[in-house]
Amino acid sequence: MRAQQGDLVTVPGRHVGAAERHGEVLEVRGPNGEPPLVVRWDDGHEAIVCPGPEMRFTPRG
């Protein structure tokens, strides 16, 4: 998994019927695009994230 600043991220809901979470990569802190990442979620919350296999990345461009 490699990410770039500006990539969009999607995480499925944690249980049936829960909404997906969407965010944007603000900063890549690991070497060569690897985690940890700083993500701003659609609710405005910013967090340091080490993505799991369920997180999907969409390059912005």
**What span, in angstroms and rounded, lies between the C-alpha atoms of 54 and 42?**
18
Q: 12 vs 50, 52, 54, CA distance in Å? A: 15, 11, 7
> What residues form DSSP beta bridges with 37?
28, 49
56: which 2 tokens?
Answer: 């999907």
Q: Using the structure block, give the residue that is written with the tokens 């060569």.
A: 32
> What confidence score (pLDDT) does residue 38 get?
98
Residue 4: CB atoms within 10 Å: 13
**What span, in angstroms and rounded, lies between the C-alpha atoms of 38 and 19?**
21
Supply the pTM of this predicted model. Answer: 0.89
Q: Tens place of pLDDT for every residue, the chain, 61 residues?
A: 789 999 999 999 888 999 999 999 999 999 998 999 999 999 999 999 999 999 999 998 7
Q: What are the structural domain ranges in the chain?
A: 8-58
